[in-house]
Structure 1
């Protein structure tokens, strides 16, 4: 950027958020360092209900879906430093190639602004923190098909997940189908303290880290307590996506109280080589 506005004078980050999800904006802005602002555009899911396919070219299908294409255009016109897609299921169904292909095509629509995906950021964050056997924690609105694709996505990336569990909303929600949980605003019932309790109770002995999947799963406030009490890195979709955006923007990713990921130096790749 050739100028630095009063709003977001340190960095300005754009996020693409699915329809009625309220969590990404809240968590991004809560974790963002001073002088960093977050700007959102919303979209309807480009995947038909019940479908596990985006066709022969998943990245192109997603980037050209009307709301996402328009969101990229609008966000790209306001001088942002980075944009991220808060839609991990797109990456899971699209496979490993989705992240880079989407980023390239999306950047063109965003007038050259760098674009990434939350799932790709989670992979990068796990690599940065040295996690090889993550315990995957999924939202209750992820059905079995999404969970299967999520496991395959991380396995194809060379990781060996120690298991996958869905956050349990409690007895009143257990008889509902995953899509019914989402439609009934189940994401509004997630509690950081309950997430902490469930992860601490269920963490497999061979897990060397935790990966909380889904940008709609409220998790930021549980990261530091879990890391302190379990002794392993904890990565969440929103935390990792913000971390990656800050790196792209050249802002030291310091967000006190949100996990060891933000304590890494900007040059962690060189240090790990």
Structure 2
């Protein structure tokens, strides 16, 4: 095994623009990617950041600077963390596509947006209908997410957040968790939306602050259908852009398709 100090990232270096709060997409990608993929991160600065359209648009204003910094540092791929960044400013795909173009220009590197990666993964796999656990998203973001996916040709049969599912009494109490949530919330939530829409081609678990990677394969086994999360679609896109056609193993059907 190559010692990290010899040549970390010899297979490719990924620079993530993380959300303006502590989350662990970089740690999860480092677990999922095979040996030889290096993972780095930077942050936009938005004081008192919350997951809502106003704060996300404030963060978007800084993404080009973050992308330029990563490109200058020498990464091979730039990834933008945070699904709602792809639809906070618009209901179609144009907002996300414009961000992607600007980040590619700023960094000089290929770019993966987490939200846009979900649409691309669904289209690539031929899934036309979905049931969505929108986890900690507000109803406003859930509605925007529905419009975003449907603009990409994906029909949303049901979408429920954790307030809808009675895991929290209101949106304020969800925010009070400081974006840390147990995997059991995501697992049970996904099973509930799957039961509501048994005809769905695929189950979606959204939200990068939810640690989903360890529960995707068990969910697929239990539900008998594909499951895609924000992280799994994002990592699938990043590894595809790197030309890396494997993972460290056992992360669900989407990543197995590499």
- Name the TM tier (shorter chain): 0.7 to 0.9
Q: Is the 8 A contact 1:255 1:262 kept in 2?
A: no
- Select 1:245's aligned residue among 238, 246, 254: 238
Partner-residue secondary structure (3-state), 2:102: helix
Deviations 1:237-264 (A, max 9, x none): 1111111111111111434111111222
In 1, the alpha carbon distance for the partners of 2:163 and 2:212 equals: 13
> Residue 169 of structure 1: CA displacement?
11
Gap regions ≥5 residues in structure 2: 1-5
Within 5 Å, give how 1:116-265 maps onto structure 2. 116-140=112-136, 142-167=137-162, 174-178=168-172, 181-185=174-178, 187-188=179-180, 190-203=181-194, 204-265=197-258
Q: Is the 8 A contact 1:107 1:114 kept in 2?
A: yes
Gap regions ≥5 residues in structure 1: 266-273
2:98 maps to 101
Larger deviation: 198-207 or 26-35? 198-207
Moved over 3 A (4+): 48-54, 167-171
Partner-residue secondary structure (3-state), 2:144: helix
> Residue 149 of structure 1: CA displacement?
0.4
> Residue 90 of structure 1: CA displacement?
2.1
> Residue 87 of structure 1: CA displacement?
2.1
1:81 maps to 76
- TM score, norm. by length of structure 1: 0.81
Q: Is the 8 A contact 2:132 2:190 kept in 1?
A: no
Against the structure 1 CA distance between its residues 53 and 238, is the aligned structure 2 distance closer, same or farther, given a 3 Å change threshold? same
- 1:33 aligned onto 2:46: no
Against the structure 1 CA distance between its residues 169 and 225, is the aligned structure 2 distance closer, same or farther, given a 3 Å change threshold? farther
Against the structure 1 CA distance between its residues 252 and 51, is the aligned structure 2 distance closer, same or farther, given a 3 Å change threshold? closer
Partner-residue secondary structure (3-state), 1:15: strand
Q: Is the 8 A contact 1:42 1:71 kept in 2?
A: yes
Q: Is the 8 A contact 1:81 1:248 kept in 2?
A: no
2:3 maps to none
- TM score, norm. by length of structure 2: 0.85
